[in-house]
Amino acid sequence: MMAKFDPITLEILWRRLISIVDEADSTVSRTAFSSLLRDAHDYTCMFTDRKGRELAQGTFATPGQSGAMALGIKNLIKKLPDETYRPGDVFITNDPWALAGHLNDVCVISPIFYKKKLAAFAACVFHHSDIGGRVSSDNHEVYEDGLFIPLVKLYERGEPNQAVFEMIRWNVRTPDAVIGDIRSQIAANHVCAEKIGQMLDEYRLEGLDDLTDEIIGRTEKSMRAAIEKIPDGVYKTEGIIEQMEGREDVVIRAAVQVRGSDVVVDLDGSSPHVNWGGNVVYNFTYAYVFMALKSIFDPDIPNNDGCTAPISMRAPEGSVVNCTFPVAVAARMQIGHFLTEIVYRALAEAVPDRVIAASGGTPASMNVFYGKRNDGRPFHSVIIRGGGMGASSANDGYYDYIFPANGANTPVEIFESDTPLIVEKRELLCDSGGPGKMRGGLGRRVVFRVPDDSYAPIPPVSLGIQSGRFRYPPEGLFGGKPGAKARFLINNRKGNSYGLTQLNPGDVVVMDAAGGGGYGDPRDRDPEQVKRDVAEGYVSEKSAAEDYGVYVEPVVEGEEKK
């Protein structure tokens, strides 16, 4: 192919594209309503060329959404003839199979026209706190998960489709926030469209086709060069993901085949559907397989269609990693997030310095609290959390993060003003990091209390949970030991993390996030590091002695600490 852009102009235009998406991204954080978007940044903006090939995404993208969007938008656009789109159209859908795997992830797509011709698409997926339905991970069918919006026009030639807005409004619990956040999505796409037009004007380009070829081509080349460095072969592993007690565990089999600059991940032999919401659609499975390979091979280059080109995936239809309509999918992250660590484990021997041990933030934990305050006003708050990250050959595991997904916590003071609940604790858990030459990141305890004084809400308070690691801890690598398991206690008794829990005034809920796995033999850890960990309360004297073989003199009360 003849290069239509010299390498310098190309870099300039490429940077411009990314800065345009970042501008759209920052519009969201200023206009969104729910704290899940504004405080926790659970959304992704991107745009594609007119064929739906991803060109650029926001720097703070969430890997699950962006990876799934990259596939999903391309497929959607392939199916619709060009005549479908008119200037001023805005599409909306939350079809889990078409996009990001559960109904809460709502995608808004806006075609971008330049000189009356279709030039590109701006798209964004927001994780909406509320999409109606039964908020629980133990649904059987997607109908229970909430409102299903097929691909429809939300705006037609600039005119709002009021029927769709009304349909949404009457099917969710917090219509003002949901509609407000959808408006924020439209605004983000609008920013993208405006700026692309300006860029094309400025550089006198007729469209984005040549630029897309160039950017995607170069990205693919870089990704392939990185893949070529590792020896050819088939790297196999198996991951076991816990299920509710009494049910059979989910098994994911992965064979990662590296041949030249191509990677094929075959998930043949993985478990079939589960009869709760943990089922993962193909796109979302791919997103976290891709996350693993991107972070191993080429984490720095900007994401676009070229990054995914060398990576293909096979997943048996009807399996838990390629589920079919209409199974329940609301809790798909409880299984989907594991794909990254499974691929890491498969490739650990081949690239020991490019992988980390299993993380307590896999899967992410999500809590939905809703009910009524004592004066009858409703409240509804969704919060997300990670755990200790796995250690690597270079570093101890960091804490506490959602990994491989991403997102921020909601400040306690914001949560307490949004709900009648009290947060009594948010602290690191001693000894929860998996021992190793490099120690796993510590898990974190959060304690909630439903007040029983004059602030008591009208019972019950509903609590929906998505989480994991209650039975199997995050494993270590190369002799590193596992991190501590997660726990969910109500009034000191084990709670059911799969159903919807009803809480009453006076109830105390404990959520312990799992710690990250260690890396390397703990006996090889620098004893000074162990002593420091004991002094800071990250590791107990007992664990120092038993796991690390380091004996630390207990500090005598009153003696000066140095």
Residues 101 to 160: which contact another protein by CB under 8 A?
Answer: none
Name beta bridge partners: 259: 262
Binder among 92, 99, 122, 291 for another protein (CB under 8 A): 291
Candidate residues 148, 235, 401, 448; the one interacting with another protein per rule CB under 8 A: 401
Closer of 139 and 185 to another protein (Cβ): 185
Q: Which tokens is 140 given?
A: 């059987």
For residue 329, give the nearest of 136, 116, 63 by alpha carbon: 136
3-state SS, residue 415 = helix
Among 180, 316, 460, 527, binds another protein (CB under 8 A): 180
User: Quick check: 11 binds another protein (CB under 8 A)?
Assistant: yes
Q: Which is nearer to another protein, 139 or 174 (CB)?
A: 174
User: Taking the mean position of all CA atoms in its chain, how far away is CA 314?
Assistant: 21
| β-strand pairing of 262-266 with 311-314 | parallel
Q: Which of 159, 455, 494, 502 binds another protein (CB under 8 A)?
A: 455
The yes or no reply on residue 279 touching another protein (CB under 8 A) is no
DSSP codes joined into one string, 149-173: --SEEEEETTEE-HHHHHHHHTTSS
Applying CB under 8 A, which part among 46-54, 140-148, 417-425, 493-501 lies near another protein?
417-425
Q: Which is nearer to another protein, 114 or 538 (CB)?
A: 538
Residue span 425-454 as binding mask against another protein, x where in contact by CB under 8 A, dash where not: xxxx---------------x--x-------
Of 72, 133, 407, 518, which one interacts with another protein (CB under 8 A)? 407
Using rule CB under 8 A, residue 497 touches another protein = no
Contact between 203 and 137 under an 8 Å Cβ cutoff? The reply is no
How far apart CA 184 and CA 37 sit, in angstroms, is 10
Residues 228-267 interacting with another protein (rule: CB under 8 A): none
| 369 touches another protein by CB under 8 A | no
Contact between 314 and another protein per CB under 8 A: no
Among 161, 261, 275, 395, binds another protein (CB under 8 A): 395
CA distance 375 to 379: 11
Burial state string for 212-236 with b = 16 or more CB within 10 A and e = fewer than 16: bbbbbebbbeebbebbeebeeeebe
Angstrom CA distances, 314 to 64, 131, 203, 455, 539, stand at 18, 31, 41, 53, 42
Pick from 183, 236, 373, 471 the residue near another protein by CB under 8 A: 183
Angstrom distances, CA of residue 185 to CA of 31, 70, 147: 9, 17, 18
**Residue (363 or 386) nearer to another protein, CB:** 386
Among 50, 127, 128, 218, binds another protein (CB under 8 A): 218
Choosing from 60, 205, 312, 479, the residue that interacts with another protein (CB under 8 A) is 60
Residue 246 zone, left/alpha/beta (φ > 0; ψ -120 to 50; rest): left
Select 110 or 219, whichever has its Cβ closest to another protein: 219
Minimum distance from residue 153 beta carbon to another protein (Å):
19
Q: Binding of another protein at residue 190 (CB under 8 A)? A: yes
Size of the site for another protein (CB under 8 A): 90
- Please select the residue that binds another protein; options are 79, 115, 221, 247, rule is CB under 8 A: 221
Q: Which two tokens stand for residue 60?
A: 């703070």
Q: Which stretch binds another protein (CB under 8 A): 119-127, 163-171, 381-389, 497-505?
A: 381-389
Residues in Cβ contact with 15 at an 8 Å cutoff, skipping those fewer than 6 apart = none
Task: Looking at residues 27 to 56 of the shown chain, list those that interact with another protein (rule: CB under 8 A).
Answer: 27, 29-35, 37-41
Question: Among residues 322 and 409, whose Cβ is nearest to another protein?
Answer: 409
CB nearer another protein, residue 33 or residue 155: 33
CA 534 – CA 546 distance, rounded (Å): 13
Cβ pair 265, 313 in contact under 8 A: yes
Identify which of 222, 228, 359 has the alpha carbon closest to the alpha carbon of residue 299.
Answer: 222
Pairing of the two strands 90-93 and 117-127: unpaired
Of residues 510-539, which lie at the interface with another protein (CB under 8 A)? 535-538
Binding another protein by CB under 8 A: which of 403, 448, 470, 488? 403
Q: Which of 105-113, 249-257, 279-287, 298-306 is the region at the interface with another protein (rule: CB under 8 A)?
A: 298-306
Q: Give ∠ CA 113-72-25 in degrees, rounded to 5.
A: 60
Interaction between residue 382 and another protein (CB under 8 A): no
75 binds another protein (CB under 8 A): no
Region binding another protein by CB under 8 A among candidate stretches 94-102, 277-285, 413-421, 521-529: 413-421
**Are residues 195 and 20 in contact, defined by beta-carbon separation less than 8 angstroms?**
yes
Q: Does 422 bind another protein (CB under 8 A)?
A: yes
Is the Cβ of residue 34 or residue 137 nearer to another protein in the bound state? 34
User: In the complex, what is the shortest distance from the CB of residue 98 to another protein, in angstroms, rounded to a whole number?
Assistant: 23
The nearer residue to another protein, 253 or 294, going by C-beta atoms, is 294
Identify residue 49 by its one-letter amino acid code. D
Determine which residue in the list 248, 300, 528, 553 makes contact with another protein, applying CB under 8 A. 300
Give the DSSP letter string of 85-100: --TT-EEEE--TTTTT
| Distance of alpha carbon 379 from alpha carbon 463, whole angstroms | 12
| Backbone dihedral angles phi then psi of residue 127, each to the nearest 5 degrees | -85, 105
Is 279 or 359 the residue whose CB approaches another protein more closely? 359
Nearer to another protein, 404 or 522 (CB): 404
Q: What is the DSSP string of 430-486?
A: TT-SPPSSBPPPP-EEEEEE---STTPPEEEEEEEEE---SSSPPP-BTTPPP-PPP
